[in-house]
Amino acid sequence: MALWTLFGLARGRASSAWPEGDAQAAGQHGVQGMPLVTAQTCAESCAACVAACPTDALRRVELPAAADAVPRHGIALDYGRCIACQRCVEVCPGGTLQASEDWALGTRTRADLQFDPQAAPAPLDGTALALQNAIARRFRHSLHIRHVDAGSCNGCESELQALMNPFYNLHRLGIFFTASPRAADLLLVTGTVTEPMRAPLRAAWEAMPEPKWVMAMGACAISGGMAREGYAGGSGLQELIPVDVYLPGCAPNPAAIMHALLLLLGRSEQHLHGGRSDG
């Protein structure tokens, strides 16, 4: 064993400083982000992106006619359904949909994942935020997570397991995975929630002591993802258990997961409000 101790020591420090440090520290160089809707109006009769979207994350919305009385429409985008497959960006003829490098898009409400060209984002509810932060401060220094796979493709697990590697080294932030739901503060759910996994998921949630939180990780857990509403079940956590943090993506990368966990603890800022990223 002494050999391995030396081996490890000789390796030096491998951990990133993320969320501190520059973009390099996140380790996500080159990673595609979520698409952005850049302009409000699209070419008449074009719905190429809506047809191309495999998860119905996009829909056409009619906009009020302008002075020339020509009817117009725009595109609404639900990041809670988006799997960032980039198909909409590829088929968009007018450049309305653009690729981005935005991936740290965890939010505290489902509504914040929904972009609508007409609706301005709701103003922040200061009282709710203050209350959430007050609760969050109780866990400020430590968070214990019980993960439940409720029907994933294993992509989310692969990225969750990566949090424990020396690069992200989640423990340095005081965040740990725990075996027992009775010792957990947060239930972190991945997968579309298949019929046979509903009861075990519910049992894990009920076994957790109050106060408890739930995080829906990935498009599957938020909305059902690619496997939604099939014969095998699956529309995510909707109407099943209350969710405190939504993390869109497919699969969300480890830095994005850390951002969402820290958001829950009041230790990071939410970037997405009403479907609009503040960069």
Partner 1 sequence: MSNMLVLHLRATDVPGNIENLLVQGGRMQMVYASSVDGRIEACYLAAPGAGKPFELWRVAVPPGGLPSMAAHVPLLGWYEREMQDLSGVGVLDHPEPYALVIERGTDPAPFFAAMDDGHYPAPHVLPEVEGDDVQELDFGPIRADVFESGQFRFFYIGERILRYHPRLFLKHRGMEKRFQGLVPDAAVVLAERVSGVGALAHALAFCQAIEDAAGIEAPPRARVWRSVLAEMERLYNHLHYLGVLADATTLKVGQAEGRLLEEQAKQLTARVCGHRLPMNVLRPGGLRRDLALPSDFVAHLGKLESASLRYLDQLEVTSSFLDRLHTTGSLPRQVAFDQGATGPVERASDLDRDLRRDHPYAAYAEHAPDVALHKDGDAYARYRVRGAELRASFVLLRHLLAHLAPGPVLAPCAVPADSIGLGWAESPRGSVYYVVHTDASGRLARVKIKSPSYSNWRVFPYTVHGTNMMDYAINEASFGSTIAGCDR
Contacts with partner 1, residue ranges (CB under 8 A): 1, 3-5, 7-8, 11, 14, 27-32, 52, 54, 83-87, 90, 146-162, 164-168, 177, 179, 191-192, 194, 196-197, 200, 204, 225-227, 230-232, 234, 250-251, 253
Nearer residue to partner 1 within complex by CB, 29 or 45: 29
72 within 8 A of 41, measured Cβ to Cβ: yes
Nearer residue to partner 1 within complex by CB, 20 or 29: 29
Nearer residue to partner 1 within complex by CB, 32 or 268: 32
CB of 241 to partner 1, least distance (A): 14
CB of 276 to partner 1, least distance (A): 23
Q: Which residues pair with 82 in a beta bridge?
A: none
Handedness of CA 6, 10, 15, 17 (dihedral sign): positive
DSSP string, 39-71: -S---TT--HHHHH-TT--EEEEEE---TT---
Nearer residue to partner 1 within complex by CB, 62 or 229: 229
Nearer residue to partner 1 within complex by CB, 16 or 270: 16
CB of 130 to partner 1, least distance (A): 33
Report d(CA 61, CA 196) in Å as an integer. Answer: 37
Nearer residue to partner 1 within complex by CB, 204 or 216: 204
Neighbours of 231 (CB within 10 A): 6
DSSP string, 107-133: BSSSGGGEE-SSSPPPPP-HHHHHHHH
CB of 254 to partner 1, least distance (A): 8
Nearer residue to partner 1 within complex by CB, 155 or 266: 155
Q: Can you read off the two tokens belonging to residue 162?
A: 């990566």
CB of 149 to partner 1, least distance (A): 5
CB of 166 to partner 1, least distance (A): 5
Report d(CA 75, CA 148) in Å as an integer. Answer: 34
User: Letter for the amino acid at 47?
Assistant: A
Report d(CA 279, CA 271) in Å as an integer. Answer: 7
Handedness of CA 126, 107, 242, 54 (dihedral sign): positive
CB of 97 to partner 1, least distance (A): 15
CB of 245 to partner 1, least distance (A): 17
Element (H, E) at 80: none
Q: What is the β-pairing status of strands 97-98 and 36-37?
A: antiparallel
Nearer residue to partner 1 within complex by CB, 11 or 210: 11
Q: Is the peptide bond before 19 cis (omega within 30 degrees of 0)?
A: yes
